[in-house]
Structure 1
Amino acid sequence: MDMPSYHAIAAMVLTIGVFIAFARGWFTTEIVSLLTIAIIAVGLYFYPLPHTTRTDGLTLAFGGFGHYALITICALMIMGRGLVVTGALEPAARALEKVWKINLQLGLLVSLLLALFLSMIVNDTPVLVLLLPIFVALAQRGAMPASKTLIPLNAAVLIGGMATTIGTSTNLLVVSIATDLGMPEMSVFHYTPIVLAAALVALPYLWLVMPRLLPDNSPDEIQAVRRFYTRMRVTPDSELVGKHFDEVMEKLPQDFRFEERPDGPFAAGQRLLISGTHDALEEANRMLKGKVAPGWVMDRIRQRSASGKEDIQVVEMVVTADSRIINRTLATSGIADNYGVAVLGIHRPERLVSNRPVISTEEEIRLSEGDVLLVMGLPEGIQDFASGDSLLQLEGAKDMPRRSKALLSAAIMFGSVFTASIGLFPIAIAALGGAILMFLTGCVKFDRVGRALSAKVIVLVAASIAIGRIILDSGAAGWLGQAMSLGLQYLPPAGVLAAIMLFVTLLTNFASNATAATVGTPIAFNIAATLGLPEEPLILAVLFGCNLCYATPIAYQTNMLIMSEGNYRFADYLRTGVPLVLLMVATLSLLLVVSYDM
């Protein structure tokens, strides 16, 4: 066997070096990714690959920034952002939240099973795009932290996608290459029982072990969450009318409470003192159909938002010593009339020394210096309120969901997922078309697109594409395949299958699925002929290996989609993914031997 070329040796050394740099965490992911691209660009400029020019090397190094895979990932992020900002996923999140409230472990198990079975019939990337914002919302509502659930969820999606020939585009690629080599074409569910049996072995690890291996990357609270007080008016169509206090308490959010208890059943027109965090007040008002601000103000804000195509914001504002509204109630302050904004609640900070009276259940709340107001309105009205009445606006303004476009954004996402899943369009075209429609319909504002994208993911994808290209074009992948085939003749059938699967897994985790499928399928076909083994199980070993992409974030686009949301590091994928890879390789190899009587 010939020695590898200098370019192949350099490609393998670079890949190992990048892997060590990512795993050790010496530098940030962005720095390592950019250095990788720079090394490939400079190296190929001065030492081009055979039969190429220096500019070809630059195209290879920087081509990842214009690659369809990166465009697809960015488009999927934008569509996911559209679902979040329009509140389209709130019904699904509330349905899953009910399961999570029964028991966290039960909620995680149901979610993993849902992800696994959905990805069997729908391409795995759209499935994760649909579920990702739901799980982020669940984490914000008090379920498990997103960093403890997204990697297990992604693994379940990948296992489900492996179970059918339509689960991923890589499966179709392997099957089509095998068919071109002379094998009979496989049906959609040809090998599904093998994967489902392996999934039964892997599921306990995903469910019970993986979350324990992952850190809690929830953002630290800089200060205690503020509790706001306000008066809620019971409307005639409210869920409270005619019910007693104890009948509704169990349904209310955890951070919400009534500060006063009525003597009898709730009646229309009652005004009750309530308190809660911003999210709890919003959720309680949605459930109870009560009002904490005059209806005409809320209607005016929504009408102006729709006509001016502006987002409604909710901000926290501090009453300063110079404000004219000190010692006034909300009714007598004229805030709504003067500025067209609504005060949703008042937070009164605790102080060591204070002569101010506590908030009373009998009297209207009077504003004092230092009170924090929860204000809703359009940006212009909020700015006028702050400057006109001497209030200090705090950081962290929150855009209210554009619920009028919720159905539209859901339809766009469903259309993209459906057309990709039935093969009408490639996932890249379907996702890009969906992202453009999100912009054109106003579901996502173009000037806010930066919030949907992650710079870390973008440079990481570009670097991984460049590494995959140099491994393939330099001949490193082909040389490794030849070296592996020399030693397989001494192994039993299960060992041959495991070795092929591990080789392809190595390629897919450090190059790409397409590279692994393109290189691994012909090698497996030739090994079967050389060793006198049946071809189909060896081809399936390649197909399974292409899907065992759990160990690095650069292995597959869904791994990168969850990276920013879970605030993951490279080491998190290694710690959880390597044991899963070894477990799946051992299980699938034995199942293939048994299924094909090798």
Structure 2
Amino acid sequence: MLIAVTAFWFFASGRIRIEIVSLVLIAVLAVGAYFFPIEHDGSYTGLEIAFGGFGHEALIAICALMILGRGLVVTGALEPAGRLLTRLWKFSRLLGLLFSLVVGGLMSMFVNDTPVLVLTMPIMINLAIRAGVPASKTLMPMNCAILIGGMATTIGTSTNLLVVSIAEDLGLPRFGIFHFTDVALLAALVALPYLWLVMPRLLPAHSADDEQLTRRFRSMLFPREASPAIGQSLKALRKRFDGALEVVGAVRKGSLQSDSRFIVEFGDAIEVEGTSAELQELSSAMKMPLVRPAMMETVETFAGDKGEGQVMAELVIGADSSLIGQTIRSAQVIDRYGVAVMGLHHPEQALFPGRSRADVERLEVGDVLWVQGGSAALDQIQISEGTMMLEGAAEIPRTAKAGPALLIFAGVVLLAALHLVPIAVAALAGSIVMLATGCVKFDRLGQALSAKVIVLVAASIALGRALLETGAAEWLGSSLALGMQGFPGAVVLAIMMAFATLLTNFSSNTAAAAVGTPIAVSLAEKLAIPAEPLVLAVLFGCNLCYATPIAYQTNILIMSAGGYHFRDYVRAGLPLVLLMICTLSVLLVWKYQL
């Protein structure tokens, strides 16, 4: 229990990257089980508890579904839905939003939430611009609709697969792909009017253009010999730029100097924070380019070779981007693509704690890069690095592989739905066919698979099994059962769902699922009530991740594009969480006659 609480604290605090916490958790469990093995069924278990998650059926299924989802996205198989949305929005904004919510929710029943959002977000931003509706009014409702749709099937999210796999390991019957779809869809019908008519009224009116005007970047300016900044102290420059712009310091020989008495010399770089418009104005007035001269030559070479002009753009880092965890310096996008990074924006947090330099900050999901380069180079970096252009984003092109990709995915769903083979086997076979037919390129598998998700799921499975084998889950279940003596089954179910919801909004939903599922089974045994509804309460609770931006990766992805703040998620998401807890609890009580 101490290890579990400590892991949750690190997951929620965000002080250490999630994948690092996951790997350390596995290591701690491995060392502990090695020196203090656990007796189970007459034998002692040790390292298999810590490392068993990497070979677990749930992780195999999750990875295979990532590949299948990637195939649908890169082949443009889902594009017809986007074109239909465009036509409907032109006819009626209100009906367009309603249909968008329904289509997004239905697609996420069979495709992982993140690929569906990656596909629909550029469409929703462009639709909002053409229809004159602020993007912030549509992105969060669309994200929530996708998350609600994802909890309707066992393959909708990796969390669902994790819960049903752990429940099966604990002795419950295997859940079918549509085992709880009826309850989820009924709850979705209750939530739909809120998403359609109420949530947009609770959100700020930020259009993509508004957010672009207020988004602040950390940038470097490179004074020329004739620049008025040469010979000035940082104190004098801060006084001169007093206002929205902030002079952070000057970089000399790789070190950031922030002392007010520091005198700027030719060859130094001045680091500032401000909006893109402010930075461009300052660059022109003070004769300080935003791109180092040597880098500018590389940009011009790449653009000149293709006979195209240069453009400025803002690229948001997606959840499957290979840039995550790298720095601007280590990513070397200037050398590989001829794209110069002029600024970096961290959404909804202190931009750079400790005043570290922008080019050595590790990039995270939702960060925005302000770049300059040729249009072909910007297209290439979006395809290769998993980024999206916030302005002028191009539609995903269709290919001849769209039909085969749809047939392959339909075959996987059919095999799993008819219980002909387990979902892990069906999804793995579908992934192999995707690779064999060229729907997904083998050298692009790194963009389909998320290392963060893989180690997180493996660590969650290990933690869940450790809690079970050591008796911690049984102890916690006994404690909860003691506190709930005399409570009706309906109240117990609602408490379990609220408990899972609280964990998932401030920690990892997969970690919450791994801990909550064994507790639910143990609690059911102590109170002599059916275990299945309590397991479903945990499953649904782990999907109610609307109240904080850190609750799920898609929440982070829409933050920059919609100009959202932490309080926006609480104000618009918390009522939805409470509505879904009440609705799902009532439906489960009704279905299982508790």
Q: What is the TM-score with the length of structure 2 in the denominator?
A: 0.54
Distance 1:460 1:215 in 2: 34
- Residues 281-301 of structure 1, C-alpha deviation per residue, up to 9 Å, x if partnerless? xxxxxxxxxxxxxxxxxxxxx
Letter of the 1:92 partner, please give it: A
- The verdict on how the C-alpha distance between 1:40 and 1:596 changes in structure 2, with shifts beyond 3 A counting, is closer
Distance 1:141 1:552 in 2: 26
Letter of the 2:415 partner, please give it: T
**8 Å contact kept, 2:66–2:112:** no
**8 Å contact kept, 1:115–1:160:** no
**8 Å contact kept, 1:69–1:428:** yes
Which residue is equivalent to 1:58?
47
Which residue is equivalent to 1:347?
309
- The verdict on how the C-alpha distance between 1:156 and 1:94 changes in structure 2, with shifts beyond 3 A counting, is same
Q: What is the CA-CA distance between 1:152 and the residue it aligns to?
A: 0.9
| 1:96 matches 2:85 | yes
Question: Which blocks of at least 5 consecutive residues in structure 1 are unaligned?
Answer: 1-11, 223-315, 326-342, 351-390, 529-534, 554-558
| 1:135 matches 2:112 | no
Map 1:498-577 → 2, pairs under 5 A? 498-502=494-498, 509=509, 511=511, 520-521=520-521, 523-524=523-524, 527-528=527-528, 540-550=533-543, 562=554
Q: What is the CA-CA distance between 1:483 and the residue it aligns to?
A: 1.4
- Residues 20-57 of structure 1, C-alpha deviation per residue, up to 9 Å, x if partnerless? 21222111222222222222222222222235999943
| Local SS of the residue matching 1:153 | helix
Flag the structure with larger Rg. Answer: 1
1:78 to 67, 81, 104: 67
Map 1:418-567 → 2, pairs under 5 A? 418-491=414-487, 494-502=490-498, 509=509, 511=511, 520-521=520-521, 523-524=523-524, 527-528=527-528, 540-550=533-543, 562=554
**8 Å contact kept, 1:22–1:32:** yes
2:27 to 12, 20, 38: 38
Q: What is the TM-score with the length of structure 1 in the denominator?
A: 0.54
Q: What is the CA-CA distance between 1:597 and the residue it aligns to?
A: 8.8
- The verdict on how the C-alpha distance between 1:147 and 1:26 changes in structure 2, with shifts beyond 3 A counting, is farther
Distance 1:69 1:179 in 2: 15
Deviates more, 1:541-550 or 1:36-45: 541-550
Distance 1:214 1:13 in 2: 44
Distance 2:204 2:421 in 1: 38
- Residues 85-110 of structure 1, C-alpha deviation per residue, up to 9 Å, x if partnerless? 22222222211233455566654433
Q: What is the CA-CA distance between 1:168 and the residue it aligns to?
A: 6.7
Q: CA RMSD in A?
A: 5.4
Letter of the 2:148 partner, please give it: A
- Residues 186-208 of structure 1, C-alpha deviation per residue, up to 9 Å, x if partnerless? 9x89994x666644443455555
- The verdict on how the C-alpha distance between 1:493 and 1:57 changes in structure 2, with shifts beyond 3 A counting, is closer
| Local SS of the residue matching 2:401 | helix
**8 Å contact kept, 1:468–1:510:** no
Q: What is the CA-CA distance between 1:433 and the residue it aligns to?
A: 1.1
- The verdict on how the C-alpha distance between 1:51 and 1:591 changes in structure 2, with shifts beyond 3 A counting, is closer
**8 Å contact kept, 1:158–1:547:** no
Letter of the 2:23 partner, please give it: L
Q: What is the CA-CA distance between 1:440 and the residue it aligns to?
A: 0.8
**8 Å contact kept, 1:117–1:160:** no
Question: Which blocks of at least 5 consecutive residues in structure 2 are unaligned?
Answer: 129-134, 218-297, 313-372, 384-395
| Local SS of the residue matching 1:425 | coil
Distance 2:494 2:422 in 1: 32
Q: What is the CA-CA distance between 1:436 and the residue it aligns to?
A: 0.7
Q: What is the CA-CA distance between 1:495 and the residue it aligns to?
A: 3.1
Q: What is the CA-CA distance between 1:404 and the residue it aligns to?
A: 2.1
Distance 2:302 2:593 in 1: 80
Identity %: 40
**8 Å contact kept, 1:116–1:159:** no
Distance 1:98 1:140 in 2: 15
- The verdict on how the C-alpha distance between 1:214 and 1:33 changes in structure 2, with shifts beyond 3 A counting, is farther
**8 Å contact kept, 1:178–1:521:** no
- Residues 248-277 of structure 1, C-alpha deviation per residue, up to 9 Å, x if partnerless? xxxxxxxxxxxxxxxxxxxxxxxxxxxxxx
| Local SS of the residue matching 1:50 | strand
- The verdict on how the C-alpha distance between 1:402 and 1:51 changes in structure 2, with shifts beyond 3 A counting, is same
Q: What is the CA-CA distance between 1:82 and the residue it aligns to?
A: 1.9
